[in-house]
Amino acid sequence: METKAAAVLNAVPPYGHLIASEKWRNSSLIQSLKGGGVKILFEKELGVADFHLPNKSCILYVSECDIIAGNSYKRKLVRYRNSSSSFQELVLVENTRLSEQYFSAVQKFVVFDLGLTLLPVSGQTEASQLITQIVHGGGGRENPFRRRTSSQLLDPLILALVQQVPGVGRVKALALLQHFSSIQKLCNAAPAQLEPIVGHAAAQQIHNFFHKATAAGT
């Protein structure tokens, strides 16, 4: 029995599907989800969460009523936070004319105290549009905000950094890097080693720049 419950609690629906808690069966939210082409599986033992979505996220729905009625939704939120482990936990909050006066307090509790993600909706219609988007949006086109690990070439960055040294332009920077291939080698070169490349004055200046005390210790 317990293992069965645990299996349900961690169930991830197939793509295009959503697992809904039984209590939502006759809601308008479910009706419009179906209208949007989302396939619904109902489940009696989903725990605190209202919906499980593909891409390992789940949703707890906080209605206008919950908010106005007071504190029991907070206990539910805490249980929600403590329950599912591997899911991205989203909280949909109805922000309506009646509940908007409480919204900022709800946000503080959900985001600052519990560290969950809050998405405001005006009601079940907007919620169904958003949920449809989450269900269908996962596949297909790539997320434009996914961080691309750019394998940036370091050489131009090093060249740019060396040009931050006062009196060193592109020509001198290139000449210096041909002799001292890394910033560390350049920094630790004695003025006498720099002199044949950039001349006496610049050699002193470069060495001083690296070794002169900054305002540290202030």
Partner 1 sequence: DSSVSKSSAPSGPVCILADSRCISSGVELMTTLRQRHAATVHVCSLDGSYFIVSNRMAVERHSQSDLAAMQNRKRLAERVNSLQGLFERVCLIVEKDRTKPGEVSRPFQRTRYYDSTVTALVRTGVRLLWSDGAEESAGLLADLARLEQRKGQGIAVPLEVKGQHSQQALQLFLSLPSVNYIHALSMSHNFRSIAQLINSSIEAIQKAGCMSQPRAEEIYRFLRYSCDSFLMNTSKNS
Q: Count the neighbouring beta carbons within 10 Å of the beta carbon of residue 213.
A: 6
Which residues, 6+ apart, have CB-to-CB distance to 75 below 8 Å?
none
If one asks whether residue 211 binds partner 1 (CB under 8 A), the answer comes out as yes
**Burial (0-12, 13-18, 19+ Cβ within 10 Å), 52:** buried
Strand order in the sheet with 88-94: 39-43, 17-21, 51-53, 57-62, 88-94, 117-121
| Identity of the residue, 86 or 164, whose beta carbon is nearer to partner 1 in the bound complex | 164
Binding flags for partner 1, 11-50, as an x/- string (CB under 8 A)? ----------------------------------------
| Identity of the residue, 45 or 138, whose beta carbon is nearer to partner 1 in the bound complex | 138
Distance between CA atoms of residues 48 and 80, nearest Å: 6
| Identity of the residue, 8 or 130, whose beta carbon is nearer to partner 1 in the bound complex | 130
Residues 46-105 binding partner 1 (CB under 8 A) are 55, 88, 90, 95, 103-104
| Identity of the residue, 46 or 118, whose beta carbon is nearer to partner 1 in the bound complex | 118
Alpha helices in 10-120, H assignment, sequence order: 28-35, 64-69, 72-83, 100-107
The residues binding partner 1 (CB under 8 A) are 55, 88, 90, 95, 103-104, 107-108, 111-112, 117-120, 122, 126, 129-130, 133-134, 137-138, 143-148, 152-161, 164-166, 170, 174, 177-178, 181-184, 187-188, 209-218
